[in-house]
Chains A and B, each alone.
Chain A
Amino acid sequence: MAPLLVAALFYTFTMPKLTLNSTTYTNQAGDTVLDTLLANQVEIPYACQQGSCQSCLIRSPEQAPPEESQKGLKETQRARNFFLACQCHPSEDMALELDSNEQPFVAVNVISITSLNEETIELIIQHPSDFIFHPGQFINLRRQDGIIRSYSIANCKNTDNTLELHVRKLPDGDFSTWASDVLKAGDTIEMQGPFGDCFYIQDDPEQPLLLIGTGTGLAPLAGILQDALAKGHTGPIHLYHGSRDLSGLYRIDELRTLASETSNFHYTPCLSGTSEHGEFKFGRANTEALKDFPELKNHRIYLCGHPSMVKSAQREAYLSGAALHQIFADAFTVNNPNE
């Protein structure tokens, strides 16, 4: 039988079911996932319908989508089973997720709270044993009164099932002040996640990595760094951690020790607000890093912290030759004017 005819028969007899928010839709032969959802009046953003604008990005959390529907996506998005609905001709049943904010919150225990410096605390919580995450992703924490804040995961999966989060105490920060002054070991708090595409993927262990962060942007970078080293990354890893003054840096000694013991890891703490920078590099972390690495064609870059730093560093890195899909960014937006 001619291959084309076999394919036609195959499509005729295969009508996969798509499930979204507990409703099931039948995907007619030849239709894309987008066609099916639109035909059933599901509200989904879309535009070009040819796989370039990425408006119809959707996720199939439980099983890998067809490869052709992931063309042009970031490695980390592929790893989390994101795909383009307009490019997906499903061959089997799929469970779909449009908005990951619909994930449930679960109550978790606070294990410890310790000070990292004047303005930052380390919050350790215990996650459910079936919680799967990539270090560098973030979770949402919800207080009893409903206030929600996002924090990045700074550690790899461990046998105690704990997550390490870095919380910056903002001057009028409702949540952060409460977390540092009221919350204590043994308390419970609600957690949701994980979210985000800023994490390590081992597709090229020799690729040079450039990690740039300000303030608690060190949290996801610390997670990414540990993950890369644990997975045997051999390419050079440069970490630039910056702050205006010394009170914004932390883990300095630990990172220096790690750099002295790890031949491919290099650590450059930067201070931008004081001319008395002593043993630290004087300048902004992103500016100094991009000065040290004017050619980024083969690099993978991680940018975490202040949104304006992330935005300008992304642009500069791209203009220095980095491919846009090799730039992973996590901009920490402040949730409300008081926080």
Chain B
Amino acid sequence: MSDSLYEKLGGEAAVDAAVNLFYRKVLADDRINDFFDGVDMESQLAKQKAFLTMAFGGPNNYTGADLRTGHAHLVERGLNDSHFDAVVENLGATLTELGISDELIGEVVAVCEPTRNDILGK
């Protein structure tokens, strides 16, 4: 049996390596960082870790409904496709920086894509 995407990326250790790099990129990105004003950074980092675990194809308990309710207040503030794309772009840049191949990055992006409609409340 071939390794899962999560195993190919390096599992939990890879998530740990990526999460701070990713969260710093998001916070420094003026296209999206307004959405993170005033949030508790530590619980946000925990959420980013859960997000990356999911994006890496790892074990997670998140459902479409969770993503929908969790982002509803941001959709009200104008969260749209351009912001979703910016987050995915930051994720890609993070993985490139960590030396992950374009092929695997493509797989990660493919895992994220189906969450778009739930996150944007479509």
Contacts and interface: CB of A to CB of B under 8 A. Distances in A.
A315 B27 contact: yes
B42 interface: yes
A324 B47 contact: no
B28 A52 contact: no
Nearest to A53: B46
A9 interface: no
Interface string B33-53: 000001001110111011001
Interface in A253-292: none
Interface residues of B, number: 18
A54 B27 contact: no
A325 B16 CA distance: 13
B27 A324 contact: no
Contacts of B49: 52
Interface string A46-74: 00111011100000000000000000100
B61 A48 contact: yes
Nearest to A311: B38
Contacts of B47: 53
Nearest to A327: B41
Contact of A323 (B20, B27, B53): B20
Nearest to B66: A47
Contacts of A52: 46, 49-50, 53
A314 interface: yes
A318 B19 CA distance: 13
Interface string A13-37: 0000000000000000000000000
Nearest to B33: A315
B24 interface: yes
Nearest to B59: A50
Given A53-B50, A319-B24, 18 more contacts: A49-B61, A50-B60, A50-B61, A52-B46, A52-B49, A54-B43, A54-B46, A72-B46, A311-B38, A314-B41, A315-B41, A318-B23, A318-B24, A318-B27, A318-B41, A324-B20, A324-B42, A324-B45
20 contacts: A48-B46, A48-B50, A48-B60, A48-B61, A50-B60, A50-B61, A52-B46, A53-B43, A53-B46, A53-B50, A54-B42, A54-B43, A314-B41, A318-B23, A318-B27, A318-B41, A323-B20, A324-B41, A324-B42, A325-B42
Interface of A: 48-50, 52-54, 72, 311, 314-315, 318-319, 323-325
